[in-house]
Amino acid sequence: MRKTGRRRRGMAPLVMTVVLAGPAVAAAASDPGTYRVNVLTYNVCGANNRDNTCADSLRPERRRAWAGKVAGLIRARDVDVASFTEMCYAQVDLLQRELPDYHLVWFGIDRAGTRSGGDTCRRLWSDLTPRTTPPDKKTSGLALAVKGPITGRPLRRMLTVDSPALPGSRVHPRGVLCARSSVGPRRSVSCVTHISGTESPAQVERLVTEYAGRSPVILGGDFNRKPEDPQLTPVYGRGLGSGRYTEVGAGMYSPQRRGGAPTTKDGGKIDYVFATEADFRAAGAEVVQMKPELSDHRALVGTFIGRVP
């Protein structure tokens, strides 16, 4: 997305849960061989959903406040890598105006439709920006906001159905987006995904690994699975699974845990930020609720401590 507009100050969010206190993070980051990376993931529910759980969050006054408040959170936490799911293309334009010094990368997954027809993203956000529709007409999808400049071609890949669907369940278009950039002192890969029960986390991890090679990876998004779900075992490492990732809320020292504060209004944790355990240690996470609420999900923010090779 092109960088446009001015930055406006966002309103302060409400911190819901602190997983690890600040002094431990500060102590770890004081090691000259390490560096701090602040991360965020947020399912913004930009076009509502079949269950209508975001209707209040999309009222005109909340939509007008959306970009300023999200940008305010990013700046307040000095976020290096932010990942967004269920985002409208129009919201990317609005957020870029607030964050002209960040680089935003977009992947359109689908056209945001309703039962009554029409494009929900265009209908909801056209009063705030004329940039509601990309050339491919896919107005709903995934986005990354990173501090470092983007290098090379991003990975934009649709996912296939590789997990058995429950009877009566719906298959949604899902995908994964990755981009190469400098995160702290290292060239890294930042990724975001949104999967349902019909796409496995292992499929996402495989695609990310193929793209990233040996580069450090930060992977955020909505996995639609609670921490104890066995399908997350191929992702978790550090003795919590068979994978190669630590999760931002897993804890800095042993014993780590698969858990964390709820990231949805109904009380479940299904949003995560993972990072390759060979390159990062988890150093604490918070779940943040905006006032007023801007989504049926809450933002997950946290910190990793990177290792300088």
Task: Please give the full DSSP string across 34-95, using - where no structure is assigned.
Answer: EEEEEEEEEE--TT--TT-TTTGGGSHHHHHHHHHHHHHHHHHTT-SEEEEEEEEHHHHHHH
The chain-wide mean pLDDT, for the chain, equals: 90
Across residues 114-122, what is the average pLDDT?
77
Q: Which pLDDT band holds residue 133 (cuts at 50, 70, 90)?
A: very high
Across residues 46-67, what is the average pLDDT?
95
| 221 φψ region: left (φ > 0), alpha (ψ -120 to 50), beta (else) | left
Q: Which pLDDT band holds residue 26 (cuts at 50, 70, 90)?
A: low
Q: Which pLDDT band holds residue 11 (cuts at 50, 70, 90)?
A: very low
Question: Where do we find the tokens 């849960």?
Answer: 17
Which CA distances in Å does 133 have to 29, 121, 237, 256, 299? 42, 8, 39, 43, 25
Percentage of the residues of the chain whose pLDDT score is greater than 70: 88
Q: Which pLDDT band holds residue 71 (cuts at 50, 70, 90)?
A: very high
Instruction: Tell me the one-letter amino acid at 47.
Output: A
Paired tokens of 268: 């479940």
pTM over 0.75: yes
Across residues 289-293, what is the average pLDDT?
92
Residue 126 confidence (pLDDT) above 70:
yes
Residue 82 confidence (pLDDT) above 60:
yes
Q: State residue 9's pLDDT score.
A: 43
Q: Which pLDDT band holds residue 115 (cuts at 50, 70, 90)?
A: low
Residues 235-257 pLDDT 10s: 999 899 999 999 999 887 767 89
Q: Report the SS3 class of residue 146.
A: strand
Give CA–CA dist 47/110, Å, rounded: 11
Residue 17 confidence (pLDDT) above 90:
no
Q: Report the SS3 class of residue 161.
A: coil
Q: Which pLDDT band holds residue 30 (cuts at 50, 70, 90)?
A: low
Paired tokens of 113: 């439709």
Residue 199 confidence (pLDDT) above 90:
yes
Residue pair 111/144 in contact (Cβ under 8 Å)? The answer is no
Q: State residue 28's pLDDT score.
A: 54
Instruction: Tell me the one-letter amino acid at 43.
Output: N
Give CA–CA dist 212/180, Å, rounded: 8
Q: Which pLDDT band holds residue 2 (cuts at 50, 70, 90)?
A: very low
